[in-house]
Amino acid sequence: MSEPLVCQRDAFQLAREDHYFNCAYMGPLPRVAEEAGFAAIQRKAVPTRITPPDSFWDTDALRELYARLIRADDPTRVAIQPGVSYAVATAAKNLPLSSGQNIVLTHEQFPGNVYSWHRLAGESGAQLRAVDPGEGADRGRRWNERLLESIDSSTGIVSVPNVHWTDGTLFDLEAIGGRCREVGAALVVDATQSVGALPFDVAAVQPDVVVCATYKWLLGPYSLALTWFSERFEDGVPIEETWIARKNSRDFQHLVDYQEEYIPGAVRYDMAERSSFFLAPIARASLELILEWTPERVQRYCRDLTKDFLTESAELGYSVEDDKWRGSHLFGLRMPEGIDLVGLKETLAARKVSASLRGSALRVSPNVYNDEVDVGVLLEVLKGAVR
Ligand X SMILES: Cc1ncc(COP(=O)(O)O)c(C=O)c1O
Beta carbon of residue 114, minimum distance to ligand X (angstroms, whole number):
10
Beta carbon of residue 224, minimum distance to ligand X (angstroms, whole number):
9
Give whichever of 226 and 335 is closer to ligand X, judged by the CB atom: 226
Give whichever of 227 and 306 is closer to ligand X, judged by the CB atom: 227
Give whichever of 113 and 299 is closer to ligand X, judged by the CB atom: 113
Amino acid letter, 142: R
66 in contact with ligand X (CB under 6 A):
no
Query: Which positions from 156 through 195 interact with ligand X, judged by CB under 6 A?
Result: 161, 165, 190, 192-193
Phi-psi region of 352 (alpha: psi -120 to 50; beta: other; left: phi over 0): left
Single out the residue of 65, 72, 80, 84 in contact with ligand X (rule: CB under 6 A): 84
Beta carbon of residue 350, minimum distance to ligand X (angstroms, whole number):
26
Single out the residue of 27, 83, 196, 295 in contact with ligand X (rule: CB under 6 A): 83
Beta carbon of residue 45, minimum distance to ligand X (angstroms, whole number):
29
Alpha-carbon distances, residue 126 vs 98, 99, 129, 152, 295 (angstroms): 6, 4, 10, 14, 37
Nearest Cα residue to 362 out of 337, 350, 345, 387: 345
- Compose the 202-231 pattern: x for residues touching ligand X by CB under 6 A, - for all others: -----------x-----------x------
Residues 6+ apart with CB under 8 A from 166: 108, 332, 358, 361, 363
Rounded to the nearest 5 percent, the helix, strand and coil shares of the chain are 45, 15, 40
282 in contact with ligand X (CB under 6 A):
no
Burial class (CB in 10 A: 0-12, 13-18, 19+), 254: exposed
Give whichever of 192 and 242 is closer to ligand X, judged by the CB atom: 192
110 in contact with ligand X (CB under 6 A):
yes
Alpha-carbon distances, residue 24 vs 28, 135, 308, 356 (angstroms): 11, 25, 21, 9
Single out the residue of 30, 37, 112, 207 in contact with ligand X (rule: CB under 6 A): 112
- Report the distance separating Cα 148 and Cα 187, nearest Å: 13
Give whichever of 218 and 378 is closer to ligand X, judged by the CB atom: 218
- Report the distance separating Cα 220 and Cα 318, nearest Å: 32
Give the binding site for ligand X (CB under 6 A): 83-85, 110, 112-113, 161, 165, 190, 192-193, 213, 225
